[in-house]
């Protein structure tokens, strides 16, 4: 059975990582739907749902946030926006699973969106925080956390293996 897996993350700083993950998930026979919540820099991977749309869903203006004067506010806006986008995609039956990758900020944003999804819906988070207490990120939801071991910031022999394992976990 094939499905559509949402990949959520900051495509400005983690483009190579998400491109690699996308290819592996698609090699398992699934479609991917890429959602970018990065704020600074240019997206290195084309997104199906772009950062401007995520910002608008969160009540913000991407151009204003890109000035970099209010990081906490940008995090809140992108978190709210991603949660709204994911809720809508799930309600419309457009996604069958979700996977995110990131450090502390990316984990906060992605996990917030994952908490909007029902128990039993496949949710995987590759995170620098994955090896510690993730209860603040997961809440009472069944999010599978995979420790990234290395920073989610480019491909190397370790990250490739971790991403392949994560793709296998979400692809089934």
**Strand arrangement of the beta sheet that strand 4-9 belongs to:** 31-36, 4-9, 97-102, 123-127, 144-147
Q: Which domain holds residue 142?
A: 4-171
What's the total number of domains in the chain? Answer: 1
pTM: 0.96
Residue 11 confidence (pLDDT): 95
The CATH number covering residue 102 comes to 3.40.50.12020
Residue 1 confidence (pLDDT): 58
Series of mean pLDDT values for 10-residue runs along the chain (172 residues): 93 95 98 96 92 97 88 95 99 98 96 98 96 93 96 94 98 90
Q: Determine phi and psi for 134, rounding to 5 degrees.
A: -105, 10
């Amino acid at each position: 059975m094939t499905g559509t897996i949402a990949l959520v993350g900051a495509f400005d700083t983690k483009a190579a990582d998400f491109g690699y993950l996308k290819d592996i998930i698609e090699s398992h026979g699934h479609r991917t739907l890429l959602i970018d919540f990065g704020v600074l820099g240019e997206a290195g991977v084309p997104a199906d749902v772009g950062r401007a749309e995520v910002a608008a869903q969160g009540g913000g203006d991407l151009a204003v946030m890109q000035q970099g004067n209010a990081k906490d506010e940008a995090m809140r806006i992108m978190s709210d926006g991603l949660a709204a986008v994911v809720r809508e995609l799930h309600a419309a039956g457009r996604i069958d699973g979700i996977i995110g990758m990131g450090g502390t900020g990316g984990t906060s944003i992605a996990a917030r969106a994952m908490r909007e999804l029902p128990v039993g819906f496949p949710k995987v988070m590759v995170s620098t925080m994955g090896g510690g207490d993730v209860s603040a990120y997961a809440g009472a939801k069944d999010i599978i956390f995979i420790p990234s071991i290395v920073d989610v910031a480019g491909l190397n022999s370790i990250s490739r293996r971790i991403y392949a394992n994560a793709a296998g976990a979400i692809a089934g």
